């Protein structure tokens, strides 16, 4: 008998809803078949609605490719980029900038905290930057950035604002027009709940004009100008799109829009709070400071004398797969994703596995306390109006 795979509770990839899974398994369409062209178009239009985007590019790739492609299309070698970093994924922008010959100034802070807005403003006032990058949720530290407030600063200093939405998009609001975001780089395997494999970029006319100003850019597949006509008319071709993936993403987008954006964001907030109420009942604390806690994942400190590998192996024995921490937090914390289709069933199973793993490693816990606390928090919140997912 094959071993049953554990419940996936890492911060991406996340579990996939049944209609999305079935869409992934359709017999492959020709990429220029009229039925597929319609699906591609529907998917792009749905994404434009979610992000308030003027343009949407969705191609085969990953979140990192979206980051690289965006810098290639918006900043020239030799220009200055301001990177606001709350961890490993913020720093990744600086690493990409380096290989592209872009000068990156990095503002960072201790793991779990946020770079103060005053510091960002000071940097913007001191130099004329070609662009600014911010990671909406840094998956290494669990920090939710101040995307709206940074948008106000970007507007004040007239700097192109690039937001990494990989661990936030479809779980945390990202209204481009309201927040003044020029580009959102993202992918499909986190709150979108689609198997990994897509590069997704939402951008506005200002970012499209910036691309035009650059003239030739150092990329072909990564030149979004090559893709823009295809995104307007998906029957055109420069490189074969990942057909099944786009069919699957379209199903995910339809589920998101059917749930309703406000209800979906409220559900993520409520799930995050409920999970953390459960953790607190086990005496566990997050690495992330209170004001910066992300709705999409939790990064949790180990209690004294709990070994990372032993703990995660015990959690897995109890049927749940969670992640270790990255960079300076490696071995000191673990990470749990709670986004996409994750609901209270999965939260309860995960808290039980964590509780049992701690007990097996000699930590004193009260059996059932975590799940009880999580449900108490869940029940204390009035659901947002029209939440089709969980409230009927």
Q: How far is the CB of 163 from ligand PMP (least distance, A)?
A: 10
* By CB under 6 A, residue 166 contacts ligand PMP: yes
Q: Which residue has the tokens 């024995």?
A: 317
> Quick one: 135 or 244, whose CB is closer to ligand PMP?
135
Tell me the closest approach of the beta carbon of residue 226 to ligand PMP, in angstroms.
21
Inter-residue contact 36 to 369 (CB < 8 Å): no
Nearer to ligand PMP, 164 or 377 (CB): 164
Nearer to ligand PMP, 168 or 271 (CB): 168
Whether residue 171 contacts residue 268, with contact meaning beta carbons closer than 8 Å, is answered with yes
Other CB atoms closer than 10 Å to residue 240's CB: what's the count?
Answer: 10
Contacting ligand PMP (CB under 6 A), which of 7, 9, 10, 12?
A: 12
Pairing of strands 333-337, 323-324: antiparallel
Choice from 91, 164, 269, 346 touching ligand PMP (CB under 6 A): 164
Q: Which residues contact 345 (CB under 8 A, 6 or more apart)?
A: none
Q: What beta strand segments (E) does the chain contain?
A: 7-8, 55-60, 80-84, 103-107, 131-135, 137-138, 143-144, 160-164, 183-186, 198-203, 297-301, 320-321, 323-324, 333-337
64 binds ligand PMP (CB under 6 A): yes
Nearer to ligand PMP, 73 or 187 (CB): 187
Note whether 27 and 340 are within 8 A (CB): no
DSSP type of residue 384: P
Q: How many CB atoms lie within 10 A of CB 228?
A: 15
Exactly one of 14, 70, 139, 222 binds ligand PMP (CB under 6 A); that residue is: 139
Which CB sits closer to ligand PMP, 12 or 173? 12
Binding of ligand PMP by 174 (CB under 6 A):
no
Nearest residue (CB) to ligand PMP, 135 versus 350: 135
Angle at 293 between CA 292 and CA 295, to 5 degrees: 130
Does 133 bind ligand PMP (CB under 6 A)? Our answer is no
- Interacting residue with ligand PMP among 13, 63, 193, 337 (CB under 6 A): 63
Q: Dihedral (C-alpha) 370, 372, 377, 382: value to the nearest 10 degrees?
A: 150
Report if residue 142 touches ligand PMP, rule: CB under 6 A.
no
Q: Helix or strand or coil: residue 286?
A: strand
Helices 224-232 and 205-214 cross at an angle (nearest 10°) of 140
Contact call for residue 141 and ligand PMP (CB under 6 A): no
We find the least distance from the C-beta atom of residue 216 to ligand PMP, in angstroms, to be 26
Residues 6+ apart with CB under 8 A from 364: none
The piece of 135-143, 208-216, 226-234, 282-290 that touches ligand PMP (CB under 6 A) is 135-143
Residue 264 in marked binding region: no
Does 135 contact ligand PMP by CB under 6 A? yes
Residues 279-318, mask of contacts with ligand PMP (x by CB under 6 A)? ----------------------------------------
Q: Which residue is nearest to ligand PMP (CB)?
A: 63
Residues within the interface to ligand PMP (CB under 6 A): 12, 62-64, 89, 135, 138-139, 164, 166-167, 187
Binding-site residues from annotation: 335
């Amino acid at each position: 008998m094959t071993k049953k795979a554990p419940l996936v509770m890492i911060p991406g990839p996340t579990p996939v809803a049944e209609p999305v899974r079935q869409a992934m398994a359709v017999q492959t369409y020709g990429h220029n078949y009229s039925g597929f062209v319609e699906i591609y178009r529907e998917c792009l239009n749905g994404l434009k609605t979610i992000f308030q985007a003027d343009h949407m590019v969705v191609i085969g790739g990953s979140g990192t490719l979206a980051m690289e492609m965006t810098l290639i299309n918006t900043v020239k070698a030799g220009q200055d980029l301001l990177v606001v970093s709350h961890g490993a994924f913020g720093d990744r922008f600086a690493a990409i900038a380096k290989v592209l010959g872009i000068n990156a100034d990095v503002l960072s802070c201790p793991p779990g905290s946020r770079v103060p807005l005053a510091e960002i403003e000071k940097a913007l006032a001191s130099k004329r930057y070609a662009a600014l990058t911010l990671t909406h949720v840094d998956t290494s530290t669990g920090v939710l950035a101040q995307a709206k407030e940074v948008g106000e600063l970007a507007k004040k200093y007239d700097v192109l604002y690039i937001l990494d939405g990989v661990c936030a998009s479809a779980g945390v609001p990202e209204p481009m027009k309201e927040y003044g975001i020029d580009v959102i780089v993202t992918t499909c395997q986190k709150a979108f709940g689609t198997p990994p494999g897509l590069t997704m970029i939402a951008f506005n006319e200002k970012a499209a004009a910036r691309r035009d100003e650059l003239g030739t850019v150092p990329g072909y597949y990564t030149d979004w100008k090559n893709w823009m006509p295809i995104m307007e008319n998906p029957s055109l071709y420069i490189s074969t799109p990942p057909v099944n993936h786009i069919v699957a993403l379209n199903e995910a987008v339809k589920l998101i829009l059917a749930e309703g954006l406000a209800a979906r964001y409220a559900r993520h907030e409520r799930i995050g709070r409920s999970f953390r109420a459960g953790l607190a009942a086990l005496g566990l604390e997050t690495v992330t400071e209170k004001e910066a806690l992300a709705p999409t994942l939790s990064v949790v400190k180990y209690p004294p004398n709990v070994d990372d590998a032993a703990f995660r192996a015990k959690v897995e024995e109890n049927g749940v797969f969670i992640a270790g921490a990255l960079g300076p937090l490696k071995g000191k914390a673990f990470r749990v994703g709670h986004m996409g289709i994750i609901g209270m069933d999965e939260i309860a199973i995960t808290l039980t596995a964590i509780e049992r793993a701690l007990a097996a490693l000699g930590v004193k816990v009260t059996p059932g306390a975590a799940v009880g606390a999580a449900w108490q928090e869940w029940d204390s919140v009035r659901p947002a109006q029209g939440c089709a997912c969980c409230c009927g």
